[in-house]
Amino acid sequence: MNTNLSIADIRKGLQEHQFSAKELAREFLGTITKKDKDIHAFLNVTENLAFNQAEAIDKRIAQKEKLPTLAGVPCSVKDAILVEDVPCTAGSKILEHYVAPYDATVTKKIKEAGAIIVGKTNMDEFGMGASTENSAFGPTKNPHDLTRVAGGSGGGASASVAAAECVIGLGEDTGGSIRLPSSFCGVVGLKPTYGAVSRNGVIALASSLDQVGPVAKTVGDAEILFNVIRGRDPLDSTSIDAEIGNWKLEIGNLRIGVPKEYFAEGLDPAIEKVIRGAINKLEEAGARIKEVELPNTKYALAAYYIINMSEASANLARYDGMRYGVSRQEGSLLLDAYLDSRGEGLGTEVKRRIILGTYALSAGYYEAYYNKAQKVRTLLKQDFEKAFEKVDIIVGPVSPFLPFKIGERIRDPLQMYLVDIYTVPVNLAGLPALSIPAGRVGNLPVGLHMIAPAFQEQRLFETGKLFETL
C-alpha cells in the first residue's frame, strides 16, 4: 500500500473500500518499524491506541455513518502535547516516567475528527533548541540525509511526515519549532496566529510565544488540520474565536513584500538563489513584488531569547522533584531534593536558559533586560503592521543555513541561536507563518517562509496552494 497519501486520498479509499482504517494503520506502523530505527522521529509508538481508533472508524464505515474530517488519517503528535494514558516527556529525562492523565484540547479535537494517533515525536528538551540534538533521548536524523539534523525543536514531527511514517503531524512553535524542521525536512508547516489554537494540555516553554500548529505534505492538508484544531477554548484564556478571513486569491492583485533585512549578510548564497527563484515564479504568475523594511529585525533575536529564557525559567520552576522528576534519596533535605532532581533531570541547554532567564528577571536587571525586550517586541509588531499596509504577505527564507551535520553546531549555543533569525520575529509579533518547500540545494530541501497579518491564515493557504502549482 502507498503511504504517500493525502487526507482526501484516505477518505476516498475508505469510502470506496479500497482499504480499511485498520489496514492503513498497520501499513503506517509497519513503515515506522522499518524506518524509524534510522531516523528516530518517534519517542513512543502508540500501536494499541492506533488500532483501537482504526477499529472505531471501520465500525462507522460498516454502519454507513458519515465520516469525520480526519477519519483514518495517521497522525503524529509532538511529545510536548498530552495524549491521555501515553507517556509525555517533552524530550526531557525529568519527565521520562510521566504519563499524561488527560488529553490536550488539540488532541481531543483530532480524536473527535477521527485521526489515528500513531505515536509521540522527538523534540529538543522542553522545546529548547533548533536541531532536536538537545533531546535527552538522542537526535532525530533528517530523512533526506541521515548525517544531518532534522531541525528543531520539533524535528520528530516534520521527519515523521517527510519519511511517510504518518500523513500529518501536530507540532508546536515557540520561535520556529514547526517552520524550521519543516524547511529542513521538505514538508509544509504552519505556525498559527497566537491565540488561534488552544494551548491547554501543552507543556509550556514560553507562554506568550508557544503555539500549536499542523505539519503536512501539502498546504491543503495543513489547512484541513488547522481548521480542526483552531478555535476558542474555555480552558485557555489566551485562545480567542477570531474570524479566519475568507480571503480569495486574485493573483493580479497579490502584493508580496520582500524584506531587505532577510537577505543581508549571513544568508547562504545557495539558499538565497532558491528563494529568489521562488519569488520570481510568483512574479511571473502575476503577483506584484515590493521591497519592504522591517528595521527592528536586527534586535529580534536578542529580544526573543531574553523573553524566551525569562518565561522558561518561570514555567520550569514546577519541575522540582516533588510531583514529577528524578527519584530522590530518602532522608535528604528539601533543598538537596530540588538540586538533585533538577541537576540530574535537566539538560545543559535547559539549565543555561533557566539561569539566564532568572538573572534577566531578578531585581536590578528586570528593567535593563526583560522590560527592554518587551519594548523591542512592540517595535517589531509595529514594523509588521506598517509593512502590511503596503503588502498582503511577506516572504523570505526560513533559515539562513541548510540542514547542518549532527554535532556541527551543538557546542556553540550562539551559532545555534542564529538558526532562528528569520522565524523568531513572527512569534514575537504573534503572526501566522507558513514554511513551504521551495526547492533544493543538492538533495537538501529549502523552505520558503510566508508571513501574513494576524488571523489571515487563509492568505497563507491560498498563496501556498498557488505556489505548489507553479
Q: Which residues are catalytic?
A: 78, 153, 177
Pairing of strands 74-78, 168-173: parallel
Residue (of 270, 195, 249) closest to 432 by Cα position: 195
Taking the alpha carbons of 164, 171, 304, 275 in that order, is the dihedral positive or negative? positive
Which H or E run includes 188?
strand 188-191
Cell numbers 477521527 label which residue?
114
Q: Report the distance separating Cα 260 and Cα 297, nearest Å.
A: 10
Q: Report the distance separating Cα 74 and Cα 50, nearest Å.
A: 8
Q: Which amino acid is at 338?
A: Y
Which H or E run includes 289?
strand 288-292
Pairing of strands 168-173, 188-191: unpaired
DSSP one-letter code for 350: H
Cell numbers 520575529 label which residue?
425
- Contact (CB, 8 A) for 116 and 53: yes
Q: Is 102 helix (H, G, I), strand (E, B) or coil?
A: coil
Q: Which amino acid is at 333?
A: L
Question: What are the CA-CA distances from residue 16 to residues 13, 38, 196, 400 (Å)?
Answer: 5, 35, 35, 45
φ, ψ for residue 230 (rounded to 5)?
-75, 165
Cell of 180: 524550521
Give strand pairing partners of 448.
Answer: 397, 436
Which H or E run includes 273?
helix 269-284
Q: Is 109 helix (H, G, I), strand (E, B) or coil?
A: helix
Q: What's the CA angle centered on 214, arms 26 and 110, to 5 degrees?
A: 55
- Contact (CB, 8 A) for 282 and 258: no
Q: Report the distance separating Cα 351 and Cα 370, nearest Å.
A: 19
Cell numbers 500549536 label which residue?
212
Q: Is 339 helix (H, G, I), strand (E, B) or coil?
A: helix
Q: Is 116 helix (H, G, I), strand (E, B) or coil?
A: strand
Q: Report the distance separating Cα 427 and Cα 424, nearest Å.
A: 5
